[in-house]
Amino acid sequence: MEISQQLKEMFSLEHIEQVYEERVRLKSGRGIDRVSVVDFDKRKDEYFNNIHVKCLNGTYKFSPYLQKLILKGPESFPRKISIPTVRDKIVLSILNSIIQEIFPHCVNRELPNVKVRNLKNVIATCNCDYEFHRVDIKSYYDNIDIEQLFGILNGNIDDELLLLLLHRAVINPTVPQNYSRSEKSKYANKDKGVPQGLPISNVLAEIYLLDFDEYMNDKCKFYDRYVDDIVALALPIVDFEKSCEDKFKIKNLPLNTDKTKFCCEVSEVNYLGYAIEGDLVTVKRRTLERHFYSIAMMFSRLRKAIFMDNKRKDKGIGADEIKNAFVEDLNVKLTGAKFHNKRYGWLQYYSEINDLEIPYVIDNFVAQQFYRCEHFTKLPNSLKKVSRAYYELKYNWRDTNYIHDYELVDIKEKRRWLTERGLRLAKFTTDDIDRFYSYHVGKFLGHIEADLGVDYKF
C-alpha cells in the first residue's frame, strides 16, 4: 500500500509529539487501558514510535473505546460517549486534522450565538409568504450509515491507508469498563453509527449530510443545521417536508416526530437551547431550572466537602480554603471563563439573550443559596454578579477582566489553586504543576459544559 506524502508528514515522530503536547497531554483522561497522561509520559517515546510505524504500515489497531453514559433526562435514553486511550487520541487528532484539510467547509466555525442571531434577524424581516420548519434527527450519530459515509469519503479521498485508519476508528467498539474480551464482538459497530466524543466525530457527522445541506441552502430563504437540529424558512413551492422525508429516507435517518414540526408558527422558536419569542430572545423555563439545580448541587457538594474535611484525622485542607475554592468555582459557573483560547460557561453560551430579567433572577437565586448555607453569614465579597457579567460580555467582552482567564496566573497561583482543591504538591516540579493545573482546570470546565445540557461548545 503506497504511503502518501501527507501521511508521512502527519505521522512523523516530530508531528506526533507536537500533537500530543498541544492537543492531548493537558486534556486527556483515561481510556479503557486506564493509562493516564502521567503514565503515558514515562513511555511516550515508545508510544510515539508505535504510532509512527504502525500507522504508516497499515497495522495500527485501536483499543476499544471506554463507554461513558451521560443522562439526558428521565424520559430519554442516556447519551453514549466514547473515550479513547491517550495513544488513540493522538492518532484520532491527526486524522481529524487531515479530514478537515480535505473537507474545510465541513468544519463548523460559526458559534451558536451567531446562528441564533442570524435566525432572529431573518424571522424579524421575512414576510408571511414563507413557511417555518423545525427538524430534529433522532439519535443522529447512532444512525449514520457507515457504508454511505465511506461512499462519500471514498469519492473525495484517494489515500487507501487513510481510509483504512478512518474505517477502523469508526467501527471500533465502545465497551463498558468491566467488559469481558470474549464479548467484544457484541459491541462491534459494523453497519451504522459514528462513536460520539472522538476528535473525528463532529466532522464525519457534518460530511454525512453535506449534500443535504447544499441542496436545502439552495432551495430555502434561510437554512441552518447544527448537528441534528435544523431550522428553515422556505416558500410553499419548495415542499420542504417531502424533500426532508425523501432525503432522510435515503440516508436511513429517522426523524424525531415529537420535535419535528413542519409549517409551524414563528411566534415562539426554540433553537440551540434559546427561545425566540418575537423580539425577545430568552431561555426556556426548563433550561433555567436546570441551571438552578446545578448551582444548588454545588452548595450540596460544599457541605459534604467541609464535613469530610472535619472528619479527617490528619490535617485537612481547612474550611476557609474549601470555601474560598468554592466561591472561585461558583464565579466561573455564574460568569464563565477563558481557557486555551476558548470561552466556557452558561452565560457565555446564552449571551445572545435580551431578556434582561434572567441575569437578575440568577443573582437572586444565588443570594438565597448563600443565606441558606450554614457555612456563610453573608455574601462573600469576592462573589461575582451575573447581571454585571452579562453587560461585560455584551459590550466589553474584548477588554473585560471580570471574566476569569485561567491562563493569566503564575506558578504560585496555580499551586494555590490545586492545593485548595485537595492536591498535595510538595514534591512536584514546575512542569508537573503546569500539567496538573491544565488537566484539572480542563476537567472542571468539562463539568461546567456538561451542566449546560447541550452539545455546543465555543
Q: Give the model confidence (pLDDT) of 424-441 as tens digits.
A: 766 788 888 888 888 888
Q: Give the pLDDT of residue 458.
A: 31
**Strand order across the 404-405 sheet:** 342-344, 337-339, 404-405
Identify the bridge partners of residue 281 per DSSP, sorted by sequence position.
Answer: 276
pLDDT score recorded for residue 455:
43
Q: What is the CATH number assigned to the segment(s) 112-140+203-279?
A: 3.30.70
Sequence spans of domains, the chain: 3-108+146-170, 112-140+203-279, 281-450
Query: Which DSSP state fits 184?
Result: G
Check if the beta carbon of residue 218 is closer than 8 Å to that of residue 211: no
Q: Which pLDDT does position 449 carry in this prediction?
A: 74
CB neighbours of residue 128 within 10 Å: 6
Do strands 269-271 and 337-339 pair parallel, antiparallel, or not at all (unpaired)?
Answer: unpaired
User: CA torsion, points 80, 85, 87, 92, in degrees to nearest 10?
Assistant: 0
Locate 122 and state its grid cell.
Answer: 431573518
Task: Decide: residue 62, CB within 10 A, 0-12 exposed, 13-18 middle, 19+ buried.
Answer: buried
Which of 160, 152, 150 has the alpha carbon at shortest distance from 191? Answer: 150
Q: Which of 261, 139, 129 is nearest to 193 (CA)?
A: 139
Residues 6+ apart with CB under 8 A from 256: 136, 137, 138
What confidence score (pLDDT) does residue 428 get? 81
Residue type, 256: N
Angle of the 86-102 helix axis to the 201-208 helix axis, nearest 10? 30
Q: Please, are residues 423 and 436 in contact by the beta-carbon 8 Å criterion?
A: yes
Per the DSSP assignment, residues forming a β-bridge with 232 are 133, 223
Q: Is 27 exposed, middle or buried (0-12, 13-18, 19+ CB in 10 A)?
A: middle
3-state SS assignment for residue 375? coil
User: In tens digits, what is the pLDDT along the chain, a chain of 458 residues?
Assistant: 677 899 999 999 999 999 998 888 877 678 999 998 888 989 999 999 999 999 999 999 999 999 998 876 666 778 899 999 999 999 999 999 999 999 998 887 778 888 999 999 998 888 778 889 999 999 999 999 999 999 999 999 999 999 999 999 999 999 998 888 777 777 877 789 999 999 999 999 999 999 999 999 999 999 999 989 999 999 988 889 999 999 999 999 999 998 899 998 887 888 988 999 888 999 988 889 999 999 999 999 999 999 988 887 666 678 899 999 999 999 999 999 999 888 899 998 998 999 999 999 999 999 999 999 999 999 999 999 999 999 999 899 888 999 999 999 999 999 999 988 887 766 788 888 888 888 888 888 888 876 564 443 33
Q: What SS3 class is residue 53?
A: helix
The neighbour count for residue 251, using CB atoms within 10 Å, is 18
Q: 341: buried, middle or exposed (CB in 10 Å: 19+, 13-18, 0-12)?
A: exposed
The answer to whether the beta carbons of residues 195 and 174 sit under 8 Å apart is: yes
